[in-house]
């Protein structure tokens, strides 16, 4: 049975579920940073997923990246699965701006997270749901 | 017309062409590190590609990651497109080991590259071509 890795659970706020993936907001207000976790147990690498699930994860990742870029007016989207610390397969989608505190380096391990104010996750959820309005049911609470 | 970004050209060794992407070896012997660059001009984000090309890039990326992990006995594959410095869309596929010099952090911007000895690219090309033997024509010189 799928269970979210405890470290991912600690470091993120839940946004909702896409058809395959749980969508999380990294609890770091320095960067608009979403994480997709396929709701499949025991999966660490992209190619551990079944072929159809691989395609679905890429599709969800690309749509989330495109949508987040439009929402944020980001300069560049960073899309990555690393998993050196948390083994559960998870995909980072991060909106980067020339003035952000890690630019142009990667965000991981650079600065301590700055947690959001209360209610930020529901604000993001609403913004994303509106952005996905042309795809009814793509994001479920 | 497609032209490889000059910085990517400077920092890598050519391996060959996949159906969509040019396959490059990052000229840094510290990590087995391949880069896929879709041979399409003016593309910076994943979603700048046509939908069929998006699927093709993900497919090529996943197959290269799976193959490189098997070749290297890697602990974890890192797959990422960042592009904060080089705007041309390119996908990193990096084989990570617990004892590598950046572990468990990301590899970018950590240590100066250690260039390969002469001939390394052709050795990698041959290893990859053999590994892709069940997919004739997947990797062309």
* CB spacing of A81 vs B81 below 8 angstroms: no
> Nearest residue on chain B to A59, judged by CA atoms?
B55
> For residue range B44-94, what is the model confidence (pLDDT) as tens digits?
999 999 999 999 999 999 999 999 999 999 999 999 999 999 999 999 999
CA gap B76, A44 in Å, rounded: 8
- In whole angstroms, give the CA distance from residue A10 to residue A108: 16
pLDDT for res A5? 98
The verdict on B85 touching A (C-beta cutoff 8 Å) is yes
Task: Please determine, for residue B141, whether its predicted confidence score (pLDDT) is greater than 80.
Answer: no
Across the range A103-123, mean pLDDT stands at 92
Say whether residue B55 is in contact with chain A using an 8 A CB cutoff: yes
Taking the C-alpha atoms of residue A106 and residue A104, their distance in angstroms, rounded to an integer, is: 7
CATH class of B6-131: alpha beta
For chain A, what percent of residues have pLDDT higher than 70? 100
With a cut of 80, say whether residue B3 has pLDDT above it: yes
Residue B42 pLDDT > 80:
yes
Task: Quick: pLDDT tens for A45-103.
Answer: 999 999 999 999 999 999 999 999 999 999 999 999 999 999 999 999 999 999 999 99
What is the spatial distance between Cα A125 and Cα A63, in angstroms, rounded to a whole number? 15
More confident of the two residues A77 and A131: A77
Q: Is A114 on the interface with B (CB under 8 A)?
A: no
Kindly provide the ipTM of the predicted complex, given to two decimals. Answer: 0.96
Boundaries of every domain in chain A: 6-99
Under an 8 A CB cutoff, do B79 and A46 touch?
yes
A141 pLDDT above the threshold of 80: no
Chain A environment of B58 (Cβ under 8 Å): 54-55, 58
Six token digits for residue A78:
């960073």
- CATH code for residues A6-99: 3.30.428.10
Gap from A101 CA to chain B (nearest CA, Å): 13
* Cα distance between residue B139 and residue B141, in whole Å: 7
In A, minimum Cα distance to B46 occurs at A62
Contact state of A65 with B54 under an 8 Å Cβ cutoff: no
């Amino acid at each position: 049975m799928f269970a979210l890795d405890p470290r991912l659970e600690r470091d993120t706020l839940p946004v909702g579920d896409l058809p395959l993936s749980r969508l999380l907001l990294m609890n770091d207000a320095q960067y608009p940073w979403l994480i997709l976790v396929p709701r499949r147990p025991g999966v660490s690498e992209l190619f551990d997923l079944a072929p159809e699930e691989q395609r679905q994860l890429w599709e969800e990742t690309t749509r989330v990246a495109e949508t987040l870029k439009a929402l944020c007016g980001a300069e560049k989207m960073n899309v990555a699965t690393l998993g050196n610390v948390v083994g559960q397969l998870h995909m980072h989608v991060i909106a980067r701006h020339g003035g952000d505190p890690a630019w142009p380096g990667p965000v991981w391990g650079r600065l301590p997270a700055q947690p959001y104010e209360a209610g930020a996750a529901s604000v993001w959820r609403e913004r994303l749901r509106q952005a996905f309005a042309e795809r009814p049911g793509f994001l479920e609470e």
